[in-house]
A and B are shown apart, each in its own frame.
Chain A
Amino acid sequence: MKNCIPVILIFACLLGAWDANYNLGLDQGRVETTLTNSLTFSQELSRHLSLNGATSFQGLRNWGQGRFCDSRSGRGWLSWRPRGGMELATTITRSIVVDKTKGVFTQDKVADNAIGSLRYAPSDWLSMTMQAGLHTEDSWNASHDTLTANDGTLYDMSATVNRRLFRVISTNFSVAEARAFGNVSDNGRDNISARVGYNFPDSWNGGSFNAEIGANRNFLKHYDDEYRKKGDEWNHSESLVLPELIHGIFMEMSGQWTYDTTLYTDLDPDSAQEGDRRDKLTNGRRIGCTMVWEMMDDLDLDISVSRALEDEDYKVQITGVEDLFDVSRKTDDRLLSFRLVYTPGSSNVTFHRVVNLYRKDTWGTWEDSFGNIYQDDTDSDELRELLGITARIPVNDWFTLKGEMQGQRRETIFLMAAMSGQSSRSSTYSVRPGYECNVGSGWKVDHAVKLSADYTTYFFPEYASGGNRLSRRLDSFFTFDRVSSDSTVLGIGHTFSFRDQGRYQNRLFSRTYEAVNSRLTFNLGFHVSAKVGITPSYGWEYVWSNRLDQGISTDEHIHHVGIRSVITILGGVLSTNITRTFRMSGDPSYWHASMNFNYLL
C-alpha cells in the first residue's frame, strides 16, 4: 500500500483536475512530542468514475514512558456511478502500528481490509447499502517470536425506507446488520428503527408530532478469553410541537427513554457462576419542554425546563464471598432556564437565568465474610444558580460597547457523614466591560477588562481545614491590529491577569497567594506579494507568584518566537505556523508547528 501511494499520486497528477489536502502538525510538551501527517486526494477520472485516497502518519514520542509509537494508515477507493442512484465502490485499507517502549515491542500490528460495496437508491423513498469483504490482522507478541493472525470475512447491510402517507404523515424505517468473523474474535451489531411524524393541518398554524422507536444489539465473542460480551439497547423518543394557539407563543414538549444492558457470558462449560461482576444495566428517562414567546418585535423570551433520570445497576464482588451484590446509582438532573433577548436596532441585550440541581444517590449494600455491611458514601447534591446579562451596543459605525455581568451560586452538598464536612457554598460575581473600535484602514482596537471574585463558605466550618475562602481575579485583554483577508496580522496584543486568594473570616482577608501573568505580543505581518503573506511574531510573557503563607516568591520570563505564513502557490493555499517557546528558568523549551496545504484545480 505504501508503495502504491506515490504511483497513485503521479497517475492522478497526469490526469489533470484533482483535489488534495495535506496537513502536518508538531506538538511538543514536557513529556510528549507528537508529529502528524495526513494527505487526502480525490480525482475525477470521468463523469462516472472517481479515484480517492487518504493516508496518514503519526509519530508519538513519550519521554516519560520511554515510548515511541509509529502509526500509519492508507485507504484507496475507486467509485463508479453507472447511473443515478447507484454507486459501486472498491476499497482497500491498510494500517500499521509499531509501538516500542524501553526497547520492547508493545505493539507490532498490520491490518488489511478489502471491501466491495453497492449503494442503490432506486427511488427517492428507498435506499440500500451492501458491502462485503475480507479482513486480516497480523500482530507480533512482545518478544517478537509469535505471530497471531485474525483472518476472516465481514459484511454490512442496511436499508432505509422513507414514505409520506396522506400528505401529512411522514414515516421512516431502517434496518442494519453488520458482522465481522475471525479466528480470534467475532463481533457484530444489529439496528432497527422506525419514526413517524405528523404535521398538523395548515389551518392549525403549525404544529407537529414525531415519535421514534429503536433497538440496537451488539456483541463481541472472544475465543481466547472464553467470554461473550453482549449489549442491547432499546430507546424511544417523542416530541410534540404545539400549533401557535396564542399569537407569538411556540411550545415544544419532548420525552425520551433508553434501556441499555451489557452482559458477559462465560463460555467455559464448567463455569457455574450466575452473572458477571462486569454486568451493567442502565435505564434513562428524560422529559423536557421549551417555550418561545415573541413578546414584541424586538423582545423574545425562551423558557426551557427538563428533567433527566438515570439508574445504573451494577454488581459488587467481595473476595471470599460467593454471591455478587446488586447495587445501583441513580442520578436526577433538573434544569430550568430563562433567556430574555432584547434587540433594538443592531444592539443585543440578553438577560439569562439558569437553575440546575444534580442529585446523585447510591442504593444497595454488600457484606463481607465476617457479616459486616457496607454501603457507598458519596451521595451528593449540586445546585447551580446563574443570573447574568450580556450586551453588545453599537454606538455608531466605528464604536461598539460590550458588557457582561454575572452572578453565580454553587452549593455542593455531600449528604453522608463521611464527607459532609466538605459541603460548601460558592458565590461568584463577575463584571466584564469592554469596547471595540474600528480606527480605519482595517485597524481595530478590542479591549475588555474582567473583574471577578469567588467567596466559598462551608456548611460546617469547624470541619473545613482552610476556613472560608475568598479568591479575586482581574483580567485584561487588549489588541490593536489589522487582520488581512489571508489572516496576516500586523499589531500588538496584551493580556494581563492578576489573582489572589486567602482565608476570609470575620471580615478579615488573610491572603495566602497572589500571582501575575502578563503577555505582550507583537505581530509584524507583511505581504511579500499579493500571494505571499508572512507574520513574524514575538511574545514576552512574565509569570510571578508569591506564596504569602510560606514566604516563597518566584518569577520567570518566557519568550515566544513564531512565524506564520499564507502562500498561494500552484493554485493551492499553503498555511504554516511555527512557534518556539524559550523558558528562562532552565526548564526545557518547546516547538509547536503546523502546516496545511489545500489544492483544488
Chain B
Amino acid sequence: MKAILLTVLVMLSACSVFEPREPEDPDPNPPVVWQTPTQPSIVISNLQNSLNGLSLGYYNSCFHDDFVFTADPLDVSDPGFQGLDFSDWTKDVESQTVSSIIYQAQASGAPSDSLSQAYFNTDAQHPDPSVPYDSVTIYRDYYIVAAGTLGCGWDRAAMGSAWITLVADEFGLWSIRDWDDIRVPYYTGDHYTWGVAKALYRR
C-alpha cells in the first residue's frame, strides 16, 4: 500500500524539466488585432488581419492541424507554372510558403503602411450557411498584396476565390481545415491566385 501511495505522489509531481519559459512583455502596439475565433467569420477576419499585419504566428493560428490546400487544377496544369509544386499541401507547407512571402514583404523597403493589404469578401450568390454547428463551408473572394513578392506584389495582386471549410473544436473555437482555390472568372494571367503566389516560394 505504501508503494501505491508513493507511486501516486510521484505521478502527481512534475519537475522543472517541464517548466515553460517566460514570455517577453507584449509589444504595446501589436501588429494584429486578434479576436478569439468563436465564429467562422472571426477566423476570416483574423486571417485578413494577420496578412495585413504580416504576422506569421497569427496567420498559423487560423489553421487546423489537418489543414489541406487544394490549388485550382487550371493552375496545376498551366504550362507557365510547370516547375511549381502544388501537391501534398499541408499546414507545414502553408506556413513555410507564407513565411517566405512575409519575410520578402518586410524586406521590400516599402513604406510601413504599404507592406501588405488583404481583403476577404462575401459573395451574394454564395451566402454562408445559416446554422454552423461544428463544421461549415463558406465562399470568399480575396485580394492579397504583399509588397516586393513575386506572385502578389503591388503590380500583381493575388486575386481569386476560395471555398473554405472551417471546423470547431470541442469548445467552439473555429479554424480552417480546407481551402479549395479558384481563379478569377476570365483569368488573363495578370493576377495570380493565392495558390500560385505561395507556390512560387515553396521549398
Contact = CB atoms under 8 A, between A and B. Distances in A.
B81 to A, nearest CB: 11
A367 B103 CA distance: 10
Contacts of B122: none
B17 A334 contact: yes
Contacts of B57: 377-378, 380, 414, 418-419
A417 B131 contact: no
Given A295-B3, A383-B18, A543 B131 contact: yes
A544 B99 CA distance: 39
A273 to B, nearest CB: 15
Contact of A301 (B7, B21, B24): B7
B11 A353 contact: yes
B180 A31 contact: yes
A64 B182 contact: yes
Chain B interface residue bracket vs A: 35 or more
Nearest to B35: A465
B76 A106 contact: yes
Interface string B82-107: 11000000000000000110011011
A382 B19 CA distance: 10
B12 interface: yes
Contact of B172 (A102, A280, A471): A471
A554 interface: yes
B36 A469 contact: yes
B131 A374 contact: no
Interface string A457-470: 00110011110010
A101 B73 contact: yes
Contacts of A413: 20-23
The main secondary structure of chain A at its interface with chain B is strand
A499 B171 contact: yes
Contacts of B36: 464-466, 469
Contact of A463 (B26, B106, B150, B170): B26
A469 B61 CA distance: 18
A515 B57 CA distance: 30
Contact of B58 (A368, A419, A420): A419
B26 A460 contact: yes
Give the bracket for the number of chain A residues in contact with chain B. 35 or more
Contacts, number: 213
A338 B22 CA distance: 27
Contacts of B130: 554, 556, 585, 587
B107 A416 contact: no
A563 B145 CA distance: 51
A414 B23 contact: yes
Given A64-B180, A224-B82, A368 B107 contact: yes
Contacts of B106: 368, 374
A587 B131 CA distance: 10
Contact of B34 (A104, A225, A422): A422
Interface string B24-64: 11110011011110110000000000000001111011000
Contacts of B170: 452, 454, 473
A459 B23 contact: yes
B23 A415 contact: yes
Interface string B171-203: 110000000111000000000000000000011
A469 B42 CA distance: 16
B151 interface: no
B124 interface: no
A107 B137 contact: no
B111 interface: no
Given A336-B18, A423-B23, A106 B55 contact: no
A225 B81 CA distance: 11
A239 interface: no
B25 A417 contact: yes
A65 B73 contact: yes
Contacts of A92: none
A144 B183 CA distance: 21
B38 A225 contact: no
Nearest to B96: A314
Contacts of B134: 517
Contacts of B107: 318-321, 366-369, 372, 374
Nearest to A420: B23
Given A473-B171, A587-B130, A316 B21 contact: no
A351 B203 contact: no
B12 A387 contact: yes
Contacts of B77: 99, 101, 104-107, 142
Nearest to A352: B11
A142 B79 contact: yes
A338 B11 contact: yes
Given A314-B203, A418-B55, A460-B26, A353 B12 contact: yes
A138 interface: no
B157 to A, nearest CB: 17
Contact of B133 (A301, A320, A545): A545
Nearest to A325: B103
A355 interface: yes
A316 B7 contact: no
Given A418-B57, A556-B130, A465 B33 contact: yes
A418 B31 contact: yes
Nearest to B172: A501
Contact of A277 (B24, B34, B58, B203): B203
Contacts of B18: 334, 336, 355-357, 383, 385
Interface in A324-341: 334, 336, 338, 340
A334 B20 CA distance: 11
A30 interface: yes
28 contacts: A30-B129, A64-B163, A65-B163, A65-B181, A142-B78, A334-B17, A336-B14, A338-B7, A338-B10, A338-B11, A340-B7, A351-B11, A359-B20, A359-B21, A366-B107, A369-B107, A370-B109, A380-B57, A413-B20, A415-B23, A415-B24, A418-B57, A420-B24, A459-B23, A466-B36, A466-B38, A471-B171, A587-B129
Given A340-B4, A357-B17, A512-B38, 8 more contacts: A64-B180, A318-B103, A377-B57, A415-B23, A417-B26, A465-B35, A554-B131, A587-B130
Interface of A: 29-31, 62, 64-65, 67, 69, 99, 101-102, 104-107, 141-142, 224-225, 277-278, 280, 295, 299, 301, 314-321, 334, 336, 338, 340, 351, 353, 355-357, 359, 366-370, 372, 374, 376-378, 380-383, 385, 387, 411, 413-423, 428, 452, 454, 459-460, 463-466, 469, 471, 473, 499, 501, 512-513, 515, 517, 543-545, 547, 554-556, 585, 587
Interface of B: 3-4, 7-8, 10-12, 14, 17-27, 30-31, 33-36, 38-39, 55-58, 60-61, 70, 72-74, 76-79, 82-83, 99-100, 103-104, 106-109, 129-134, 137, 139, 148-150, 163, 165, 170-172, 180-182, 202-203
List the 8 shortest-distance A-B pairs measured between CB atoms, nearest first. A368-B107, A421-B26, A106-B77, A471-B171, A381-B20, A420-B23, A64-B163, A466-B36
